[in-house]
A and B are shown apart, each in its own frame.
Chain A
Amino acid sequence: MITWLLEPLSHDFMVRALLVSALVGGVCGLLSCYMTLKGWALMGDAVSHAVLPGVVLAYALGLPFSLGAFVFGVGSVTAIGFVKQKSRVKEDTVIGLVFTGFFALGLVLVSKTRSNIDLTHILFGNVLGISQADIQQTLLISALVVAVLLLLRRDLLLFCFDPTHARSIGINTGLLHYVLLSVLSLAAVAGLQSVGIILVVAMLVTPGATAYLLTDRFDRMTLLAITSSVLASLLGVIISYWSDSSTAGCIVLVQTGLFLLAFLFAPRHGIFRQHPEIGA
């Protein structure tokens, strides 16, 4: 067991991969609490896919890819909001068509730009081969996301719980909406480092859902989400090392496994432990 855990650490690339994916896991885990409570899973999926053209363009222009991803992430959300408001098409339909449009644009751009972008790395992550520059960007993004989420945690919680009340006491809910979406775009960029665009939504939803089954207190929920997400990232990377399989797949599978455990055995909300609510 000890060797199973320690042997991977003798490789520099594995140490880097473990650290980066744990960091990204923690950041996405924190954000996932707001995503699940706000019901923004689909929005997370949309934003993470929509950043593709931004990433490609940034690479082609030699800019930091997080910048491009951020612009297109927020751009897609603005487009969704605009089309929803100006047409009679329902929101989930608008989300579906906007993000696939952005994603398709990204695919075409990848095939048209002569650069050394490896599409599979963007789509499925490449945490084992992450570069020094990418690590720095991820650190920066993570610090920013965590700072915003911690400073605004009570406002964001209220915004998710009861936006009408938030509004009526003078909190700018429109601004909070866009802050949360911006943070989501940034976290999606960080997440695609470790698991890639396709699976990043799992990082943004699963830990929050797992924690939600385990507690009725928000503070504990954030701690549990972060813990389960970091644990899943570390275990996933190590399992992928020993089984020589997709790192992204392993990380997300462990996350799904943790969710299943909570789903079955959670003290109050697991299906084996459910008892009728007792009113007082």
Chain B
Amino acid sequence: MRIEADQVCVDYNGRVALYDASLHLPAGSICGLVGMNGAGKSTLFKALTGFVRPSRGRIRINGQRVAQAQREQAVAYVPQSESIDCGFPVSVWDVVMMGRYGAMNLLRIPRQSDRIAVRDALERVDLLELRHRPIGSLSGGQRKRAFLARAIAQRASVLLLDEPFNGVDVRTEKLMAELFLQLRRDGRTILISTHDLSHVRDFCDLVVLINKTVLAYGETSEVFTPENLELTFGGMPPNLLTGPSSAEEPEP
């Protein structure tokens, strides 16, 4: 198993954010993490990246504790582009190179192998030509691809993506879908947090429904039932559920 979480509880100063959350995800899978805002999606991500420590329960990544998995560069986190300071004076190349820091020595001086990994990752997300551009000058979709390239350059076996389809152009969405399939073929496990159900149906083999705890998880076709979704969204199934796949969002 790539990711094993058993009865994980997380609380912030006594306020419970997640309780009794259990899930097991195999290598080589694309898994949607679905829940409302505040349902504990980002808390689960934080627990998997080691940002918060569960007050109870146990998490294993590749059979190892989170701290050990971190040291082995096993987990990559792809942030929402809105959570990143766009005025930050770093280039696309610099950002992707940050994916290699964990593999470098303490002074973080890149070796040839690091530069090759970065170049390769940039090629795969089709941003090689823009590598010298400041990260803030990219469009939302391009920025998203840059952070995806960072995760690829890191060669992590687990990728956590926070709302990857938010405000993304059609081209980026297609490119990401292809990349996800490639990464799955390489045996990587991709966990996608989203509230857009149509994307889950299109891309994910597995789905985890979450509302302060893991309500259900498994094959998308089995778990994605109206009853389960009603549970997830607190009795208010979003109209996305009945409608066709949502229209393509235009590029902002």
A residues engaging B (CB < 8 A)?
37, 85, 151, 154-155, 157-158, 160-162, 164-171, 212, 215-218, 220-221, 277-280
- Give B90's nearest chain A residue, CB to CB: A218
Is B203 an interface residue, CB under 8 A from the partner?
no
Q: Determine which residue in A216, A217, A278 has the highest number of CB atoms from chain B within 10 A of its CB, and name it.
A: A216
Q: Let me know if B138 and A279 touch, CB within 8 A.
A: yes
Q: Let me know if A170 and B70 touch, CB within 8 A.
A: yes
Is B245 an interface residue, CB under 8 A from the partner?
no
Knowing A165-B79, A168-B50 are in contact, say whether A155-B138 is a contact too (CB < 8 A).
no
Q: Let me know if A218 and B154 touch, CB within 8 A.
A: no
What distance in Å separates the Cβ of B148 from its nearest Cβ neighbour in chain A? 12
Closest 7 CB pairs of A and B: A169-B102, A170-B70, A216-B134, A154-B108, A168-B49, A170-B71, A279-B139
16 contacts between A and B (CB under 8 A): A37-B88, A155-B101, A161-B84, A161-B85, A165-B99, A169-B70, A169-B102, A169-B154, A171-B102, A212-B87, A215-B89, A216-B136, A216-B137, A217-B91, A280-B133, A280-B139
Which of A165, A212, A280 interacts with B89 by CB under 8 Å? Answer: A212
What distance in Å separates the Cβ of A181 from its nearest Cβ neighbour in chain B? 20
Number of A-B contacts (CB under 8 A): 89
Q: Let me know if B102 and A161 touch, CB within 8 A.
A: no
Is B241 an interface residue, CB under 8 A from the partner?
no
Which residues does chain B contribute within 8 Å of A85, judged by CB atoms?
13
Which residues does chain B contribute within 8 Å of A216, judged by CB atoms?
89, 91, 134, 136-137
Is B67 an interface residue, CB under 8 A from the partner?
yes
Given contacts A169-B76, A277-B137, A280-B139, 19 further A-B contacts (CB under 8 A): A151-B107, A155-B101, A158-B101, A161-B88, A162-B84, A162-B98, A165-B150, A167-B70, A168-B49, A168-B70, A168-B76, A212-B89, A216-B136, A216-B137, A217-B91, A220-B89, A221-B89, A279-B139, A280-B137
| Bound-state Cα–Cα, A158 to B85, Å | 12
Q: Let me know if B133 and A157 touch, CB within 8 A.
A: no
| Bound-state Cα–Cα, A280 to B56, Å | 47
What distance in Å separates the Cβ of A223 from its nearest Cβ neighbour in chain B? 12
Q: Let me know if A170 and B51 touch, CB within 8 A.
A: no
- Give A154's nearest chain B residue, CB to CB: B108
- Give B76's nearest chain A residue, CB to CB: A168
Q: Let me know if A161 and B130 touch, CB within 8 A.
A: no
Which residues does chain A contribute within 8 Å of B70, judged by CB atoms?
167-170
| Bound-state Cα–Cα, A6 to B88, Å | 40
Which residues does chain A contribute within 8 Å of B49, judged by CB atoms?
164, 167-168
Q: Let me know if A155 and B136 touch, CB within 8 A.
A: no
B 164-188 contacts with A by CB, 8 A? none
What distance in Å separates the Cβ of B114 from its nearest Cβ neighbour in chain A? 12
Is B94 an interface residue, CB under 8 A from the partner?
yes
Which of A151, A165, A279 interacts with B98 by CB under 8 Å? Answer: A165
Q: Determine which residue in A37, A164, A166, A171 has the highest number of CB atoms from chain B within 10 A of its CB, and name it.
A: A164
B34-47 vs A, Cβ < 8 Å mask (1 yes, 0 no): 00000000000010
Which residues does chain B contribute within 8 Å of A37, judged by CB atoms?
85, 88-89
B 65-114 contacts with A by CB, 8 A? 67, 70-71, 73, 75-77, 79, 84-85, 87-91, 94-95, 98-99, 101-102, 106-108
Is B29 an interface residue, CB under 8 A from the partner?
no
What distance in Å separates the Cβ of B47 from its nearest Cβ neighbour in chain A? 11
What distance in Å separates the Cβ of A187 from its nearest Cβ neighbour in chain B? 21
Which of B73, B85, B95, B99 interacts with A170 by CB under 8 Å? Answer: B73
Is B194 an interface residue, CB under 8 A from the partner?
no
Q: Determine which residue in B90, B94, B138 has the highest number of CB atoms from chain A within 10 A of its CB, and name it.
A: B90
| Bound-state Cα–Cα, A154 to B107, Å | 8
Which residues does chain A contribute within 8 Å of B154, judged by CB atoms?
169
Is B142 an interface residue, CB under 8 A from the partner?
yes
Which of A168, A212, A221 interacts with B77 by CB under 8 Å? Answer: A168
Q: Determine which residue in A161, A162, A169, A216 has the highest number of CB atoms from chain B within 10 A of its CB, and name it.
A: A169
What distance in Å separates the Cβ of B174 from its nearest Cβ neighbour in chain A? 18
Which of B90, B102, B107, B139 interacts with A157 by CB under 8 Å? Answer: B90
What distance in Å separates the Cβ of A59 from its nearest Cβ neighbour in chain B? 38
What distance in Å separates the Cβ of B247 from its nearest Cβ neighbour in chain A? 22
- Give A216's nearest chain B residue, CB to CB: B134
| Bound-state Cα–Cα, A279 to B135, Å | 11
Knowing A165-B98, A170-B102 are in contact, say whether A280-B130 is a contact too (CB < 8 A).
yes
Q: Let me know if B150 and A167 touch, CB within 8 A.
A: no
| Bound-state Cα–Cα, A212 to B98, Å | 21
What distance in Å separates the Cβ of B177 from its nearest Cβ neighbour in chain A? 22
What distance in Å separates the Cβ of B126 from its nearest Cβ neighbour in chain A? 12
- Give A221's nearest chain B residue, CB to CB: B89
Knowing A161-B90, A164-B49, A217-B91 are in contact, say whether A169-B101 is a contact too (CB < 8 A).
yes
Knowing A154-B108, A216-B136 are in contact, say whether A167-B101 is a contact too (CB < 8 A).
no
